[in-house]
Amino acid sequence: MFTYYIDLALRSLRRNTVLTALMVLALALGIGASITTLTVLRLLSGDPLPARSAQLYYPQVDPRPALDDPSRARPMPAMSWTDAMNLVNARKARYQAAMALTQAKVMPAKTGERPFFSDAVMTTADFFPMFDVPFRYGSGWSAGEGQARARVVVISDALNRKLFAGANSVGRTLRIRDHDFRIVGVLRPWSPQPRFYAVWLGGRSYGDGDGVFLPLHTAVADKMSPNNLNCFAAGGDLNDLTKAPCIWLGVWVDLPTASQARAYRGFLDNYVHQQIALGRMHRTDVAMPDLMQWMRESHVVPSDVQLQTWLAFGFLLICVVNTVGLLLAKCLKRSQEIGVRRALGASRRAVFAQFMVEASIIGLAGGLLGLLFAELGLWAIRQQPAEYADLAHLDLGMFAFTFVVALVSSLLAGVLPAWRASVLAPAPQLKAS
């Protein structure tokens, strides 16, 4: 019976090619626009570390003077050197790492090649196991090497291919600024999207990953400047960031269980009260959002992208309404045909099913054309100067979701016309013929 309904639907669609084309085009435009914007929104708001995000937390404290902006209830988005080192050295989590972003001036070993700047992370040793960073060659440095200000470095796969043609470069020398660093590790391609650890620290939220990873103590000793420096008090030597009254470090901790997270929150509260007793702090505000909560609080997803997504689905709704009107017009035009079918014994359920199959075929055709429009839309986004532009691609999940949207939209559009066709009384239609 289903095959028979398909045959009837195809015959009907071929008899009214212009009307069919209008319905398919209307759905395709709405589907293309909504899938394009939804793909971008999904890319920007996705979980960068699905296997670990629920156990990663971003502790925050507030070192500002008591009279500085008393209306602000939330703590500062980063930490000073003293607070970051106190939390890291306390070892209250399975992993803990402090980090800041900088620009590393890389000096190629080959003569004639010009130096260039690479995005760099200065961090502590737990950065790599905490974020499950994959290595192609070697490994990260040890905590002892970091504390000893060893001149060691981990480089990305892209930088390794650029400088060493992708060969195993562990043990070789990389000159950064005026110092030689020994390469101890080379990463596999790794660039979480969005780059959650770079939020607020002055880096790009999307795009290619960082190229250089340096021990934090070594980078500070070499006077490497962080990308984002926010001082909350006057005075202090800005050339010595270990003592300056400034925040510039982010701290992440790995707490696999809820009980460990509660215990760490208690430790953080106790730490702040201890620092208040010492006269270093004046505010008790603390926060400890997990990874996804931190991304939401930091407004990683641009508000205009969310607005565009809502507008695109609003446009899809308009397209569905237009398709309902076209299907109703087609239904009224076929009243006599429906009357004959009913007179020959077709039930209301059979007529309803026939029209729903017809709507489904229109939806699938609209999905195919909408997929093409979505690809064109994503191609247009990739031509934009936005930092996430190169990542705008349709993956397998969104490919399948396109047809789900198309089918649901067409079925919604077909319900009213199908119901209208199924309730037509056959006798008046036969008399009119």
Region for 112 from its dihedrals, namely left if φ exceeds 0, alpha if ψ lies in -120 to 50, beta otherwise: left
User: Residue 295 falls within a domain, yes or no?
Assistant: no
Does 420 lie in the same domain as 335? yes
Does 113 lie in the same domain as 255? yes
Structure tokens at 71: 């209306």
Does 185 lie in the same domain as 229? yes
Identify the domain boundary among 288, 321, 356.
Answer: 288
User: Nearest to residue 188, comparing CAs of 116, 120, 139?
Assistant: 139
Predicted local distance difference test score (pLDDT) of residue 259: 96
Does 356 lie in the same domain as 318? yes
Identify the domain boundary among 253, 288, 323.
Answer: 288
Does 284 lie in the same domain as 306? no
Confidence of residue 430 (pLDDT cuts 50, 70, 90): very low
- Residue 91 structural domain: 59-288
User: Residue 294 falls within a domain, yes or no?
Assistant: no
Res 429 pLDDT > 70: no
Q: How many domains does the chain have?
A: 2
Does 167 lie in the same domain as 42? no
Residue-wise pLDDT for 181-210, tens only, equals 999 999 999 988 888 888 777 666 777 789
Does 248 lie in the same domain as 311? no
Does 91 lie in the same domain as 21? no
Residue-wise pLDDT for 386-405, tens only, equals 666 777 777 778 788 888 88
d(CA 223, CA 221): 5
Does 252 lie in the same domain as 322? no
User: Residue 37 falls within a domain, yes or no?
Assistant: yes
Does 321 lie in the same domain as 284? no
User: Nearest to residue 156, comparing CAs of 231, 196, 106, 85?
Assistant: 106
Residue-wise pLDDT for 64-93, tens only, equals 877 655 556 678 889 999 999 999 999 999
Does 308 lie in the same domain as 268? no
Does 421 lie in the same domain as 383? yes
